[in-house]
Each structure stands twice: as structure tokens, then as C-alpha cells.
Amino acid sequence: MTLHTDPFIHPAIIMIVFIVSVILTGILYKRHITVVSRSYWLFLISTKILALMAMCILLLNPYTRKMVPDSKNLQIMIFVDGTESMNTIDCENQTRIEIARQLIKPKSAFSKSLSNLTGNLIFFLFSGDVTQQISPDGQFDSLPGDTDIDLTLNTYLSNYFNLDSIGAVLLMSDGQDNKGRSLMAAAAEYRNAGIPIHCIGIGDPRSQKDISVYWKNVPSESLKNSNQKLTAVVKRNFSEAFDTSATLFENGREIRSIDIGFDENELEKEIYINHVPFTAGFKTYKITVSNLANERNLLNNIDLAGIKINDPETFNIFYFNANLDWNLKFLKLFIDKEDKFNIDTVIRMGEKGYYVRGYSDENRLENNFPSCSDLNLYDSLIVDLSSLYLLNQEQISCLVNFIENRGGGVIFTGMANDLPEEILTLLPLTVLPAKSQKMRKTKLDFQSAKIFIEKNNDYITKFRSALYIPEGTEFYTIKNRQTKPGSRIVIVSENSSWVVLSTQNYGAGKVAYLNLNDSWKWNLQLENGSELYNVFWGKLLTWAAAASKEKLTIRPNSTKFRLSEEQELRVDLLNEKFEPENNAKVTCSVTDHNGREQSINLFPDSKVDGRYLGQFFPRKTGEYRVYFKAVNKDGFTIESSQDYLVIDYGNETQPYPMAEEKLQSLARETGGKYFNYKNTSAVDKLNLSKKINYIETKDNLTNYWWFLLLISLAFLPDWILRRRIGLK
């Protein structure tokens, strides 16, 4: 910057006027030398000359000349790191990318400092081999990919057509350059091009404590009601005596908490979990470990595994009755020949006597009835209504829970004058008749045999032609209107159409009422009665034991999704009859860990009945919950949910500290400056490339108030001194 003048009149005239004014001042002030002291007179002359000099300077019209970058062609490139590592929370409880968003907002202090830079500011977001231009006032999130700062900088350097217009590069990053060449390679090329790289480090350069958990051993398949052995590993990166806890979830429901203690130098610990699933279907098992205080990487505090729970090849049946009857005898003969069923029994034999079969330890029976936990190990129950008076309220509640929540199946038989309200709610009948009557031999009419017998089964015809209500059977005359609206009438008596077998779905399970106490007589009275009896009860027990089958089964390919890879969401849907449902509207709502939702429609699969497919494209890592909802044409609605974990298997998910030294070296080697994100006040004084175009600017001092004030102050001493001796 240099000082120049642009006089309002010719400089010679200004000089002549100044000299003449000085001479006249000396002549005019000579007469005052006798009035004041000589020193005061000299000071008075000096102030007058100062005022005349100020007037001359003003007439000379001074200005400065300086060379500034040509703003029309100058580009300042600002590269913002958008990789997954920028989601690390180590900036005063904020993520690194949140800090970057705040810094470049138009009204931030940083942006105001940037506005003082001459040139056009262009913002880019980069990740991997992707670089996209962004708006500083827009919302942007992290992108998939590794951090390759060298690739980003050099791709731009080699592709930009006019390097002489690049004044500087401003890099906002955590410095976690984990792919490609080192940052010093990029520094060399920018140094040769004469373009400085200024770095703003975002993050905490200090190492932080971290703890993680992952599944080590999980079976891909298991059987319902069988013990699963699961193994997980909890790891940490610090050494000290430490206690924490892990929590196990099944399909989003917490089922167990495990306390974990680390010795001083112990860095990892295996935990062993035994769990018994009570229902079949695909289940998600989530293991979590408690977060540390101010922990950065929370994604590795969770792991998910999926297990397909199959129905067992053998169904476990529990038979409970207040009286020993012939039906149990023939059931035992049938089941003893069948590998598919096991039966345990408790039968009251007298005032204090019970017949127990199937229990290795009868002391486990509570008042001669299984505990809730033992009852849930069975697949289906056969309960005589006349025996319910033997149960207390807690045992009744266990029975209700077995059906409603456990998803078990119960076949009620027999008669009773009075039943608990909870049992009446379970039954598919609106009311239980007060009286019964003895029946004549009456054929049976199978109206809805498909509910528990496969379609086109040859036995349906045999049942309809051969099976009957035996002569003299005690029988409730139940009419169709006495069944509940949601129930299904399966068997009625021929002609009179009295209900023999009715069923209904209740909660997660099934309930049947068999109004036929003497079916055992088929074994004695029919030529092939034993075969028909065994098939009838075998099908009925299989139907009841399979009650825990889900109406909406989520069948994902995995519980873990890779970031930015399209994933298939797949569900199998059954209607209220447990048949494939092809005419339903199936939707799902995907919610990420920040509460943001995305709606997805699922459409029928042309290859599999009852199957619906949808596509999901995860763009962020973290835990996702997917809520599925299916509504058929009759308004029948089923809802379910599944948890997924979206992970990036690269280094970006690791809780590494900010690589401050790398960024400092990059700035130093290219002639730039390094700033921490907390102190960016000097960002308006950046070094620029010497190869850019400069233009000369003219700046008149008369445009500045401070200059005019100085000129005015130059007249003030003369005026004050003249006033002191009475001069105007």
C-alpha cells in the first residue's frame, strides 16, 4: 500500500498560497510580540502554520493505492468432511458434523469472518470418492464412505480448469484420513501449485474411554421351548477395576440383565446366557452394554442377532382333570405310539390323592398344578371344566396367561355348573348351559374342518361318514347363537345342528371347547374306530399345539444391514383363520435412533402366498425400529415390530480422536494456517495464493471520518491560543 495525492488545484498554487500565508502570518503577528512573551508568540505562530499545513493537505486530496485480489475471478474452496467419523460426539455433547453445520451457517461468527475474505466462497461436502456442492444455509448429513482427504483435494486440483483463480482451500475435518495416500502427498502437490490449505480441526484430540459388545456365538436356528446358549463379548479400551451391566432383549422386549465385573487389567469378558423361547418364528436378540459417561461411539454398544425358532418335532401336552376317565386311557395309548406327542397328566383320585404322570419331581407341582413357568413349557393343554374349582386365583391367571401371552392352545372338555369369569372369557361360548341331556346316537357334521385338518384330506370324508355322538353321552345343547361372534363352529350334530366343537383365537393363542365326552367309545364301537380316534385327536392336538404360530412373521435376511445397501423387508401374513392372506394393505414405518420416520409400502410376492415385500435403503448408521402394520379387507389388523442395526464395517465407526497433528502439518506444509473449531476469529486473515490476479484499488482519505477529524483538530490549537489573548 502506497500514499498518493490528487490535488483539487495545482500543487504549485497550493505551495505559493502556503508560503504567502506563512509570510503574512509573520507580518500580522509581529505586532503581538510586545503583548505576549516571546515563547508564547512563537507557539502562536507555530499553531497557525500547523493549521495552514492541514488546509494544504486537505487541498492535496491524499489517497492510498494497494493491490487486492480480483474478486470476480477469485475462488475460496471450503471442503467439509462428511464421513461417518464426523458423527462422533466429542464436541461438548455435539457431533462433529453438527459443529460444521453451525460454523458455516450464514449468521454465525465464523461466516461473518469468512465474508471479509475477498472472493467467491464455494462449499463442498466430501466422503470417499464423492464430493458434492452444498449450501451453507442448508441441512446436510454424513455420507457413506471412508475419509480420503488426499483423493478429494487432488481430484479437485487436477480437474479444476483454472488453478490461478483458486486463492485458498479451507478444510473442515477431524483429520481421520484412513484411506489412500498420506496427507503429506496432498500437501506437496498444493505447495507446488502455490495454493495454501487452511485447516479447521473439529473434534477432541484426546483419546476417550470406549466400551463395546458383540455376539460371539448365536445359533441360526433353535427349537421352541428348548434352551438356547448365547455367548456375547464385552470389550473396553481402558484398564481399571470396573463394573457394568448388559441387557438382553427379545423382539424389543427386555428379558434379562447381566452384571459384569472387570478386573484391573481385564480388557474383555465373555458372558453366557441361557434362554428358552416360548413361541416359534424369527426372533431378534439385542444385547446392549451400559454407556460410559461422555462416551463417543455408542453404535458399538449394541449388537443384534436373528434366530429362527422352529416348532419342535414333539409337542408337549398337559392333561388336567378332576376325575379319571376313559378318554385319558385311550389318549395315552395313542400318544405312547406317537413320537410327535408327549403327555403329562395330573388327575384327582380322591380327597387328597392325585395321579401324576410325567413329572420327574412332583414337588415342583404347586397344589398339584404346574407353576406358571412350568406351564409355559407345554405346547397345549387339555383341561376338564369340572376340575377348575381345584385351582386358586393365581393358577387361573397362569392358565389365562398361557393362552393370551404365551400363545398356547387349550382344549376345554367336560361340564361345570359354575366357572370363573376369566374362564368364561376364554371360551368360544357366550354362555354355558345350566343343564345337559343324554344324547341318542347322532352323526357329526364337520362344517369347518379345514381349521385344524389340511385341505383335501381323505379323513374328512371318513369323519363325516363314520363319527358320531355315542348313545347316552351327556351333552350340552348349545345353539349357534350361543357362540361368540369371533368364534368358529367346527362340528355340529346332524339335523339338530347343536354345537359339538367350537374354537376361537384369544390373544396370541387358541381355545377350543369340545362338547363331546365319550369320543373314546369310537375305539370300541367302530371297525376302524381306533384309527379314526387317533387321527381326530392327533389333528386337534396339533392344531392346539401350533397355536403360537404368528399371524405376521417378519423374515428379514439379516438383523444387521450394511450402510447404503438396499435391503429387503419381508413379512408372511396369515388371516384370522391362520391361512395365507393375499388381500391386505401392508405398510411399515422405519424410525431411526434420532426419531426420524420413513414410511414404506410392502406389496404381495407373486411367488409365495401371504408374503409381502418392500425395499429399504439405510443412509445412516445406528439402530432402527421397523413397525409393520397389516390390514385386510375385513378390517382385521395385525401389528408387529423388528429391530435392525445399520453398520458401516469401515474405520469410520471407531471412536478415534481428532488427528490434530495431521491437520497442523498439512496447513504448515502448504503455507496455510490451522484453527481449532473453538477459535476461528482470525479466519478473515488467511494467506492467499500468489498466482491469483490482483487489481489496484484507490482509497481517498477524505472518505474517512477520522481523517477529517484530524484536519479539524489541527485548527483547534490556533483558535484556543488566539482566544486566550483576546484575538478572534
**Residue 372: what residue type?**
C
* Same structural domain, 590 and 678: no
Place of cell 508560503: 19
* Same structural domain, 139 and 202: yes
pLDDT at position 287 is 92
3-state secondary structure of 293: coil
**Residue 499: what residue type?**
V
Q: Which of 548, 575, 607 is where one domain is finished?
A: 548
The answer to whether 304 and 282 are in contact (CB under 8 A) is: no
pLDDT at position 116 is 67
DSSP letters spanning 246-280: EEEEETTEEEEEEEEEE-TT--EEEEEEEE---S-
pLDDT at position 353 is 67
Rounded (10°) CA dihedral 145, 151, 156, 158: -150
Beta bridge partners of 572: 553, 611
pTM to 2 decimals? 0.45
* Dist CA 351 CA 439 (whole Å): 31
| CATH number, residue 680 | 3.40.50.410
Q: Which residues, other chains included, contact 652 with Cβ-Cβ below 8 Å and sequence gap of 6+?
A: 83, 84, 85, 145, 146, 147, 176, 178
The answer to whether 125 and 82 are in contact (CB under 8 A) is: yes
* Same structural domain, 525 and 560: no
Convert the pLDDT of each residue in 534-591 to its tens digit.
888 888 888 888 755 566 777 665 677 777 678 888 888 877 655 688 899 999 999 9
Q: Which of 279, 310, 341 is where one domain is finished?
A: 310
Instruction: State the residue range of the domain holding 466.
Output: 315-548
pLDDT at position 328 is 84
Convert the pLDDT of each residue in 598-611 to its tens digit.
999 999 988 888 89
Q: Which of 493, 522, 548 is where one domain is finished?
A: 548
* Same structural domain, 117 and 187: yes
pLDDT at position 652 is 58
pLDDT at position 374 is 82
Convert the pLDDT of each residue in 45-87 to its tens digit.
888 888 888 888 888 888 887 766 666 777 788 899 988 888 8
pLDDT at position 455 is 43
The answer to whether 288 and 249 are in contact (CB under 8 A) is: yes
| CATH number, residue 562 | 2.60.40.10
How many domains, in total, are found in the chain?
A: 5
pLDDT at position 246 is 94
* Same structural domain, 32 and 10: yes
pLDDT at position 716 is 81
pLDDT at position 457 is 60
- By residue count, the chain amounts to 728
* Same structural domain, 394 and 531: yes
For the chain, list residues with pLDDT below 70.
1, 67-71, 116-119, 160-163, 178, 180, 296, 312-313, 350-353, 358-367, 448-459, 547-551, 555-558, 564, 576-579, 648-655, 692-695, 726-728
The answer to whether 628 and 641 are in contact (CB under 8 A) is: yes
The answer to whether 613 and 603 are in contact (CB under 8 A) is: yes
Beta bridge partners of 78: 123, 170
pLDDT at position 253 is 84
The answer to whether 691 and 23 are in contact (CB under 8 A) is: no
* Same structural domain, 408 and 422: yes
* Dist CA 460 CA 441 (whole Å): 20
* Same structural domain, 670 and 622: no
* Same structural domain, 38 and 158: no
Convert the pLDDT of each residue in 111-168 to its tens digit.
877 776 666 788 999 888 888 888 888 788 888 777 778 888 887 777 765 667 778 8
Please name the helix (run of DSSP H) or strand (run of DSSP E) that holds residue 170, with its range, or none.
Answer: strand 166-173
The answer to whether 503 and 490 are in contact (CB under 8 A) is: yes
pLDDT at position 578 is 55
* Same structural domain, 270 and 329: no
Closest CA to 315 of 401, 229, 224: 224
* Same structural domain, 590 and 537: no
